[in-house]
Each structure stands twice: as C-alpha cells, then as structure tokens.
Amino acid sequence: MNEWIVLREKIESKFPALIDVINNESNVESLNKIADLVGNTLPQSFVSIYANCNGQFCTKAGFVFGLSLLSTEKIIHELNVWREIIDQGLEGLNESCSSLTPSAIKIEYANTKWLPLLGDGGGNFIGVDFDPGPTGTKGQIINFGRDEDDKCVFAKSLDDFLVLLTELLNSPSLVEEEDGSYSYNHTHFIDALKELSQK
C-alpha cells in the first residue's frame, strides 16, 4: 500500500481547498542528488512521494497540518544551507539541545544526515534521521531546525509516520482554519506532535 497516496487522498477529500496545493509534476531525477547530500539510500516511501508529486507550491497553505511538503529543489537548498551552518561550527548551539525520546536522537543542533520533508516556512522541519542516537532507529522521523532544540522521535519510519498522519485526520482535535487549511487543535504541528509523543 502506498501510504502517501492514502494520506493525500484523505486530505484532499476532507479539505477541498487544498486540492490545488500539490505540485503534480514529479521530480525523481533530483533524488540521487538528495541521497548524495545525506549520504544514504532514500526510503522507498520517500521515493514514492516524489514519484507522485514534487512537493507543494510554496505560495499555498501547508498541506500537512499547516506544514508544507517540500519540493526536491527546496530540500536540496535546505540541505546545503544546513551544511554551511555546520561547516561554520556549532559552538554553543549543541549545549541547549535535548532528545525528548531518551538517547534516540543525537544531542546536536544540526546534522548533515537529517533529511527535511515538511517545513513551517520559518526554518523548522520534520524529516528523516539517518544518524540516530544509541537507542534510535535509522530512518526514524524527528523534528529539527532553527527553533527546535528539543527533538523527539515521532515515528520509527516514514511509512509509520504517514500512517500516523492519516490516523490523526480522524482526531476530534482536527480544526479547519479560515483559509481552508487545517491544524491539530490550533497548535503548531511540531509542538502538537511533541505533546502527543510524550503521552
């Protein structure tokens, strides 16, 4: 089963205003560049997303609980930006970081093997972790970015994360916003997932 297709169809069914948000032109050609940048083979579920589309149009409302599905071009841009930040040195930045899922995520501000998938437009992301901590799982889904010092594992794989998102679309905490998008209880989705994962 293609979990992305299931999720996409459910979102577009529940929130028709988002039907034209997704860029339907796929861009699998860029995936080799992304794999090279993170130094890892990409999960099949990640490849399947970009065989179906190339993220969303950046001028539209966030497709996934207010977060934007990044295009491959945007992913490559973000990976290069974060690589530059890491190359300049993270002195003092790592000290404020934590892993809310104990030992599962490396205590780092940034890592070249964190692959962004969803973004809030402010430098914060949900993505794939190819360099987990001692008790983590390679390919786990975590939060990271400019304001995300406290990191958390949201799912052990991208497939599991897509299933979780689909399940959350049935939650009574789902709220339709004025622009036709939706949120989880009017909360920034990364924060909402942190709260849910700590229960």
Per-residue pLDDT of the chain (199 residues; tens, 9 = 90+): 699 999 999 999 999 999 999 999 998 999 999 999 999 999 999 999 999 999 999 878 899 999 999 999 999 999 999 999 999 888 889 999 999 999 999 999 999 999 999 999 999 999 999 999 999 999 999 999 999 999 999 999 999 999 999 999 999 999 999 888 999 999 999 999 999 988 7
pLDDT computed for residue 168 by the predictor = 98
pLDDT computed for residue 180 by the predictor = 84
Cα(139)–Cα(67) distance, rounded to whole angstroms?
A: 20
Residue 107 φ then ψ, to 5°: -80, 80
Third-level CATH fold of 3-197: SMI1/KNR4-like (3.40.1580)
Contact 151, 144 (CB under 8 A): yes
pLDDT computed for residue 113 by the predictor = 98
| 72-88 and 31-38 helices, crossing angle to 10° | 20
Contact 46, 34 (CB under 8 A): no
Residue in the structure block whose two tokens are 């577009």: 12
- pTM to 2 decimals? 0.96
Residue in the structure block whose two tokens are 């299931």: 6
Cα(7)–Cα(155) distance, rounded to whole angstroms?
A: 16
What distance lies between CA 195 and its chain's CA centroid? 16
User: What does the radius of gyration of the chain's CA atoms come to, in whole angstroms?
Assistant: 16
pLDDT computed for residue 178 by the predictor = 87
